[in-house]
Amino acid sequence: MPVAQLASSGVSNDGNKTFVFQGEGHTLGNALRCIISNYSDVQFCGYSVPHPAENKMHVRIQMYNGKAIDALKRGLEDLVKVCDITLEKFDEEFNTFKSKRES
């Protein structure tokens, strides 16, 4: 499970935050950006990998209403659900393919 820490900017605003994920890159960043950007209370969500030599990824979330940390938590939970559904569908289709091939 990814561990995120808050990047400090000196300004305290719960609706606008940048989170740093150690050991993560474009795969998680793009998936989270895609999911979180679609929430109606999110004004902006983007990610960056600052440098290829650094093994970290930044996610920036800016809210119309609410807390950025809540949007991040919801995004991670929704991403887990998407992955679970994808695995279920893959297994179903693979089993169908396998049974047709054996008969």
- What pLDDT does residue 6 have? 62
Domain count, the chain: 1
> 92 pLDDT exceeds 80?
yes
Q: What residues make up the domain containing 95?
A: 4-102
pLDDT at 85 over 90: yes
Residue 94 CA to residue 69 CA, distance in Å, equals 37
Q: Using one digit for the tens of pLDDT, what is the confidence trace for 2-21?
A: 566 666 555 568 999 999 99
CATH number for the domain spanning 85: value is 3.30.1360.10
Predicted confidence (pLDDT) per residue in 13-72, tens digit: 899 999 999 999 999 999 999 999 999 999 999 999 999 888 999 999 999 999 999 999
Q: Give the E-state strand segments of the chain in sequence order.
A: 4-6, 16-22, 42-48, 56-63
What pLDDT is attached to residue 20?
97
